[in-house]
Each structure stands twice: as structure tokens, then as C-alpha cells.
Amino acid sequence: MEVMWVDKHKPESLDEVVGHDYAVESLKEMVDQGLYDHLILSGPPGTGKTTILELLAKEILKDTFKHNHFMFNSSDERGIDVVREDITDKASQSPMGADWKIIIMDEVDGMTSEAQQALRGTIEEYQDNCLFFMTANFSNKVIDAVGGSRVTERKIGPVDRDSMRERLEYILDQEGQNLPDDLMEALLDYGESRNGDLRSTIKRLQIAVIDYKYAEVDKERIKEELKYFSSSKMPINKMIKFASKGNFTKVDKMIRRLIVSGASHGEIFEEVSNYVLIADDISDHVKANVLEACARGSDACNRGARPRTQLNYLMVNFADSGRKGKRDVFDDSQRIDKDQIKKNVSGKLKSMNGGNSDKKNDKKNSSASSGDDNTVTNLKL
């Protein structure tokens, strides 16, 4: 039990990958035909994108895989210097006993736009003997210079429930373990709520086995914990309803509760995106604005902005988009102090609560809203 199952039971060949039959068969055929190209796999976190690319690289490089493949996590190594120095250095080296070197770049959407522009030049310069395989959680954050005609993009969707069940049962069998049916169903509910995140579900499987088999934790408590960590239980719909009514005090309390409970800013932004995408009562115009705001807000947090502040402004932006078609307010190029943030949110709140006032107050609030909108839109977090 000392080894994490998510690492111990990683697929060892493309044939062991579950949930992506069409994409895997297409990539295998590409290898059989010798039709190699730069690739970017885009889709939700934890669905197997990086694993697929690593296994594909093994199929291409075979015995020379160890010497001719290089891995970079682009969300950690995201600046232009990494491209100019580390990545270019690896790309410029001649392959060892093979026709290709393969550079795998995980989460390339986390790179700065300057770094992505520099990557374009590196891809063009060394394309004769170097293949670039990339992953992205949000393909809209990959600029055309990288994700355009130079690179073949393939979508990797959420892992479906049956495929998750197949993999979890395989792991339990390999470990000589078992779980009650209702606990397995609770795990699958958790996985579906996380947008088909198989990686996270396997981690929860191991925790459930430890708790149930060894710590003798009551299974009902384990199920409650799974519900607690299920992103579908994030009160996104309530947050949006409070925001649409201008009740940002309630919104802020819910955001703080989520952060304190251990939810990362990335998980919350992702859940808002998922909720908005499938909501029937939200117009396409508002969806477009909010999804862009989610991407920008998440990027701002990655750059060091405060998650609580960015999530609150996301909700402000949601209300603005529905009322006036305003665009996002995320820009993290510089910071402002906490009092200034509170002042502008307070002004926004007053503006949005003015709808039920008399005509005189409406006119006054409309004027205040106009001025306040300009203030918020020009904020640089």
C-alpha cells in the first residue's frame, strides 16, 4: 500500500488506455503508417492526455525512448527563458540511434504568450528531427502560432463511467482488494462529478480501501466524504443565483468556504466553466464572456493573484455579462490593495442593487454604475 496506485497501475501500452478508443486507435494507425506530426491533446485534467503521449512516444522510439524523449511541465516552466534555453537545447541535440527526438510539454496552455511565440520558432527550426507533443487543459489559451496548422490537435474528453469502472475493478483485482458495490458507485459518482478525472478517482479509490479495510471507517462516512470532495457538490448554481441578484456578501462567504475546505482555485474555475457550458438558461453570449473570464481569472491566480479576489470578480463579471454584455475584468499585470478591492466591489454591489429603487434612485444608480463599471474594468490585479 506504500506505492500510489495512480503511478503503480499506469497503462504500459496504448492498448491499456481506457475511455479514449477512437483517439488511441487513430494514433496507433498514425504510427503504423509512419505519419508523424506535432500533436496537442486538449481536454479536462486527469483524463490521460500525458499518459497517451508518453505511450505514443514509446511506440515511435521503441528501445531508444529513454535517450530521445524529454518531458517539460509547461505550467511550472512557463517563461520564455525556458523555451530559449532548456527546450531549444534539447531540440538542437541530434537523436541517438533514432530518426526522432520527442519533446513532451505538459499543460502548454500554462505558458506565457511570449513563451508560446518563442516555441513556434523552435518547432519550425527543428521540425526535421524533433517532434513536439503537447497537452492543454484549455485549448483556447494556446495561441494560433503554436496550436494552428503546425500542430495537429486532438480532443480528449472525460473518461466515461463504464471505462472508469473497468479500470478501478482492474486495479482492485491486481491489488487483491474489493469494495462494497455502493462504495464503488460512490467512487464513480465522484469521478463523473470531476469531469471524468480518472487520475483523481484512482487516488480516491486507494484512500477508500485504506479507510474501509484497514482503518475500519464506516462506509457511510466514506461515502459522505466522497460527496464532500465531489465538485458537483460545489454550490456553483447558488453562487451564480446570488451573484445575479447582486448579493455578493453571500457569494464571498461561499467562495471562502470552498477555499477553506481545500478546493483549489483551478477546481472552482473549472466547475464554474462546466456548469455554464451545460446550463440551458444561460445565453451563448453570457457563456462566452464567463468562460473567457474563467480562463483569465485562473491564469491570474497562476501568476500570483489572490484566488478569493479573482473568484469574486468572476461572479461580478457574470452578473455584468447578463445585464449589460460587459466583458471580463481580469488583468493581473499589477496589484491593488485590499481596501481598493473592497471599495470597487462595494460600488458594484450598490449599482446592481439599484434595480428596485424609484426612478430618481435608478437614474442615480445608473450613473454610479457607469462610473463604477469603468473603474472595475480598468482594475489591474
Looking at the structure, tell me whether residues 223 and 239 fall in a common domain.
no
Judge whether 13 lies within some domain: no
Judge whether 146 lies within some domain: yes
Instruction: Give me the mean pLDDT over the 249-259 stretch.
Output: 86
Instruction: Give me the mean pLDDT over the 293-303 stretch.
Output: 84
Query: Last residue of a domain, which of 180, 212, 232?
Result: 232
Judge whether 263 lies within some domain: yes
Looking at the structure, tell me whether residues 202 and 135 fall in a common domain.
no
Tell me the whole-structure pTM to 2 decimals: 0.65
Looking at the structure, tell me whether residues 148 and 185 fall in a common domain.
no
Give me the half-sphere count of Cα atoms (radius 13 Å) on the Cβ side of residue 190: 26
Confidence (pLDDT) at 372: 38
State the Cα–Cα distance between residues 74 and 69, nearest whole angstrom. 16
Q: Reply yes or no on whether the pLDDT at 351 is more than 80.
A: no
Query: Last residue of a domain, which of 232, 257, 281?
Result: 232
Confidence (pLDDT) at 145: 62
| Counted domains in the chain | 3
| Residue 266 φ then ψ, to 5° | -60, -40
Q: Domain containing 193: what range?
A: 161-232
Query: Last residue of a domain, which of 171, 203, 232?
Result: 232
Single-letter residue type at 180: P
Looking at the structure, tell me whether residues 166 and 243 fall in a common domain.
no
Structure confidence at residue 27 as a pLDDT band (50, 70, 90): very high
Contacts 24+ apart (CB under 8 A), 62-67: 63/97, 64/95, 64/96, 64/97, 64/98, 67/96, 67/97, 67/98
Looking at the structure, tell me whether residues 135 and 146 fall in a common domain.
yes
Looking at the structure, tell me whether residues 151 and 167 fall in a common domain.
no
Task: Report residue 347 CA to chain centroid gap.
Answer: 32
Judge whether 134 lies within some domain: yes
Looking at the structure, tell me whether residues 26 and 132 fall in a common domain.
yes
Q: Reply yes or no on whether the pLDDT at 204 is more than 50.
A: yes
Residue with cell 478546493: 263
* C-alpha distances in Å from residue 282, one per residue of 4, 319, 376: 41, 11, 23
Confidence (pLDDT) at 364: 41
Confidence (pLDDT) at 356: 45
Task: Report residue 158 CA to chain centroid gap.
Answer: 12
Looking at the structure, tell me whether residues 34 and 53 fall in a common domain.
yes
Confidence (pLDDT) at 325: 41
CA angle 179, 182, 184 (to 5 degrees): 50
Looking at the structure, tell me whether residues 336 and 238 fall in a common domain.
yes
Dihedral angle at the C-alpha atoms of 24, 64, 199, 236, nearest 10 degrees? Answer: -80
Residue pLDDT, tens place only, 259-283 = 765 567 887 888 888 888 777 777 7
Is the separation of the CB atoms in 236 and 255 below 8 Å? no
Range in 9-23, 203-217, 221-235, 265-279 the model is least confident about: 221-235
Looking at the structure, tell me whether residues 29 and 71 fall in a common domain.
yes
Looking at the structure, tell me whether residues 371 and 238 fall in a common domain.
yes
Neighbours of 148 (CB within 10 A): 11
Judge whether 165 lies within some domain: yes
Judge whether 366 lies within some domain: yes
Looking at the structure, tell me whether residues 133 and 252 fall in a common domain.
no
Confidence (pLDDT) at 130: 94
Structure confidence at residue 74 as a pLDDT band (50, 70, 90): low
Is the separation of the CB atoms in 198 and 19 below 8 Å? yes
Judge whether 139 lies within some domain: yes
- State the CATH number of the domain containing residue 29: 3.40.50.300
